[in-house]
Amino acid sequence: MKEAIKWTLNRMPKSDDRQLSVMSLSNVAKARFFHSSFPQYSITPLAELDGMAKYLGLAGLYVKNEAHRFGLNAFKVLGGSFAMGRYIAKEMGRDVSEMTYDYLTSEAFRREYGQATFFTATDGNHGRGVAWAANKLGQKAVVHMPKGSSQPRFDNIAKEGAQVTIEEVNYDDCVRMAAAEAAQTEHGVIVQDTAWEGYEEIPSWIMQGYGTMAGESAEQLRQIGVNRPTHIFVQAGVGSLAGAVVGYFTNLFPNDPPKFIVMEAQAADCLYQGAMAGDGKPRVVDGDLNTIMAGLACGEPNTISWDILRNHVTAFVSCPDWVSARGMRMLGVPVKGDPVVISGESGAVGMGLIAALMETDEYKDLREAIGLDRYSQVLMFSTEGNTDPLKFRKVLWDGEFATV
């Protein structure tokens, strides 16, 4: 018997919405300018799944494919790199617009600034992005991974020259460990995409970095004649990506925003729990947070993102692992004529959920509540490619987490 998808509509009281300005169009434009200065930068593809849309009964289905981002197989580097740029700019009393790749890798910068050590905790992709950016910019990186982290993800971080460990604690405890070490290190700073009381500036910069992906997708949709998506499905761990996407598109379409559906791994569904409680306060999920969606295995919400999400999300959805596994298979073996999207466990949950909503009447109530139908133009984000090859094969080849 497969576990059920759980969901709730957003009935939380609104706040003053002051965090929405974090994702203003001008802030996102600064991030896009910073990223475009890197020689490795290119706009990642937007896959048009016309066959899948027709099969599911949608007007359009579009998948932003982040497997191609900077050669790192995931979107996370956008946040870590921009936060580094903004941190260095602030330290130097300069504007981030001056922190181009050419300047940050120059001898003049080295003489003027020297080196900082960037600490972080990661389930894989964020740490790899921080390590890669530190390596490219001549900075140092120290990365802690939670217990159960996979060897390929560890190896990918280590080969970027970072000091990396797998600890015997969960993700949220790794964050605390990284923060404590950064506080004791000269020129040490923690670069984490979760915010807490007193640590909000860097997470807001990371969210702005993710805005590059959201901005690209909006442009790509316009280029194919879709002025505004009707629905955006976005996954959440701590919620930074979700807050970035929801914040950007709310600012882009202030009078008529899309419907936003936020999905989490059921083992770490802190945002869903907060929405279920309904009082507007965030909730924490603790324990081992066991899920194949390693990038979403985070139990403590980013407080900045939470404020954006409680004001603008339509529905919060808690997804068992089979939802992601099914999405991986559907994207990897698509309808004839559609492009293949190689999507990892944390990247494919949107596809699995959209299919579950459209293929049967089991979740008819949610489908009708969000108005998902044959007129819908749906955008989702495949945030990672095949970042854990062994797990990927188990799901696609061996049928792990089958739906029957």
The SS3 assignment for 247 reads helix
Arithmetic mean of pLDDT over the chain = 96
Residues 378, 233 contacting (CB under 8 angstroms): yes
pLDDT by residue (tens digit) across 37-80?
A: 999 999 999 999 999 999 999 999 999 999 999 999 999 999 99
Tell me the CATH class for 77-198: alpha beta
Residue 396 to residue 187: CA distance in whole angstroms: 44
User: Residue 287 pLDDT more than 90?
Assistant: no
pLDDT, position 380: 98
pTM of the model: 0.96
Question: C-alpha distances in angstroms, 334 versus 49, 327, 355, 387?
Answer: 8, 10, 13, 20
Sign, CA dihedral 240-220-77-349, equals: positive
- Helix/strand number for the chain, H first, E second: 16, 11
pLDDT, average across residues 183-203: 93
Distance, CA of 31 to chain centre: 16
What are the residue ranges spanned by the domains of the chain?
Answer: 6-74+202-396, 77-198
Rounding to the nearest 10 degrees, give the CA dihedral for residues 325, 326, 327, 331: 110
- Which CATH number applies to 6-74+202-396? 3.40.50.1100
Exposed/middle/buried for 306, CB within 10 Å: 0-12, 13-18, 19+?
Answer: buried
- Which residue's entry shows tokens 């094969």? 393
Exactly one of 2, 50, 95, 123 is catalytic; which is it?
A: 123
Could you tell me whether strands 188-190 and 231-235 are parallel, antiparallel, or unpaired per DSSP bridges?
Answer: unpaired
Nearest to 250 by CA among 303, 311, 315, 200: 311
> Residue 133 carries which DSSP code?
H
More confident call, 404 vs 310: 310
pLDDT, average across residues 168-183: 94
Let me know if 76 is a catalytic residue: yes
Given pLDDT bands bounded at 50, 70 and 90, which one contains residue 123?
confident
Residues 281, 273 contacting (CB under 8 angstroms): no
Given pLDDT bands bounded at 50, 70 and 90, which one contains residue 404?
low
Do 6-74+202-396 and 77-198 come out as alike in CATH topology? yes
pLDDT by residue (tens digit) across 83-115?
A: 999 999 999 999 999 999 999 999 999 999 999
The SS3 assignment for 389 reads helix
pLDDT, position 402: 86
Residues 272, 265 contacting (CB under 8 angstroms): no
Residue 270 to residue 3: CA distance in whole angstroms: 18
User: Residue 403 pLDDT more than 80?
Assistant: no
Let me know if 281 is a catalytic residue: no
Exactly one of 76, 140, 259, 391 is catalytic; which is it?
A: 76
Nearest to 61 by CA among 262, 358, 281: 358
